[in-house]
Structure 1
Amino acid sequence: MEKKEVIRRIQEAAVAGKKSLDLRGCRLRELPPEIGRLTKLVHLDISFNTLTELPEEICQLNRLAELDLSDNHLADPFPVISRLRSLTSLDLNGNQLRKLPPETGRLTGLTHLDLRDNRLSEIPPEISTLKR
């Protein structure tokens, strides 16, 4: 999907006050900063793309509860993700994670965390603060 088309879909969703957006399999290499305009978003699926990082603007999605980032090329999305305090479900299956930073423990509302098919070598003790 062309970047212009993605931006158009984001802008339309923002104007309509959408609570869910599906950008799964859109061949995105980057997420445009316009994503920050979706302040009412609760569910975001950006799986099956080729993202290597997330823009700072995603932190503006303070209502976001479900984030699917599976099957991308993310190595360290946590500086941004750790500020999404409303997250209850985070899917990072099939990325290139090597470690989880201590900031992961800040996501105290998480009830679902999928880390399968990554390259994790260690898990920080802070993850024990997450709900089971």
Structure 2
Amino acid sequence: MEVYTSDSSDTDSREQKTLDYGRMNLTVITLDDDLHAKKALKTHKDFETLLLNHNKLTLLPPALTKFINLKVLDLSSNCLTQLPEAICNLPLVTLIAKNNNLTNKSLPKSFVMRNAALKELNLSGNQLTHFPEQVLELRQLRYFYAGANKITSISKDIWKMQRWGREEFVCI
């Protein structure tokens, strides 16, 4: 399997810290084996962006928790039915999980990330039926997307987000 890391290009450092497994039609990914197979000079801790978008993943690999400096995780357009609690141990700033099969019950009980840094959360195009209350815990959140779900009710406490200075917050 060909894994793209942008080390070979003359691009900025952000791209050099990106591991791109997007659009590879993967059903399973281990991350550990793939990094070793490529004899990568980098380890999990060297990456800040992990792109797993547009695959057929149903589960996230356990090795995901080894990406201790991960800021951006794109899980969009897969077949995920669960976001594990362990995802909250990552220092994510952006979590994109749009266009999967996530329900309210399959979300972590709390979205409070390590260092409480999450600023963007995209859950559009899933199977949510009501506003995820856990989002109210995210004081740094600036962008929340939940369009193209089956949401029929929004939390009465959504006003708290405006109090935290979120003028352009909810996109449902």
Which of the five TM-score ranges fits, normalised by the shorter chain?
A: 0.7 to 0.9
Of structures 1 and 2, the one with the larger relative CO (CA 8 A, separation 6+) is 1
Greater C-alpha Rg: 2
1:129 corresponds, among 142, 156, 160, to: 160
The alignment's TM-score, normalised by the length of structure 1, stands at 0.86
Matched with 1:24 is 53
By how many angstroms is 1:54 displaced? 1.1
What letter is aligned with 1:66? T
Q: CA RMSD in A?
A: 2.2
Are the counterparts in 2 of residues 10 and 38 from structure 1 also a CA contact under 8 Å? no
Q: Distance in 1 between matches of 2:86 and 2:43?
A: 14
1:59 corresponds, among 69, 76, 88, to: 88
Q: Distance in 1 between matches of 2:126 and 2:63?
A: 24
By how many angstroms is 1:4 displaced? 4.2
Q: What secondary structure, in the 3-state scheme, does the structure 2 residue paired with 1:116 have?
A: coil
The percent of aligned pairs where both chains have the same amino acid is: 28
By how many angstroms is 1:7 displaced? 4.8
Report the number of matched residues. 130
Are the counterparts in 1 of residues 99 and 126 from structure 2 also a CA contact under 8 Å? yes
2:118 corresponds, among 82, 87, 90, to: 87
Q: What secondary structure, in the 3-state scheme, does the structure 2 residue paired with 1:36 have?
A: helix
Q: What secondary structure, in the 3-state scheme, does the structure 2 residue paired with 1:67 have?
A: strand
Q: Distance in 1 between matches of 2:35 and 2:134?
A: 28
Q: Distance in 1 between matches of 2:80 and 2:45?
A: 26
By how many angstroms is 1:108 displaced? 1.3
Q: Deviations over 1:14-40 (max 9, x none)?
A: 535100010001210011222111110
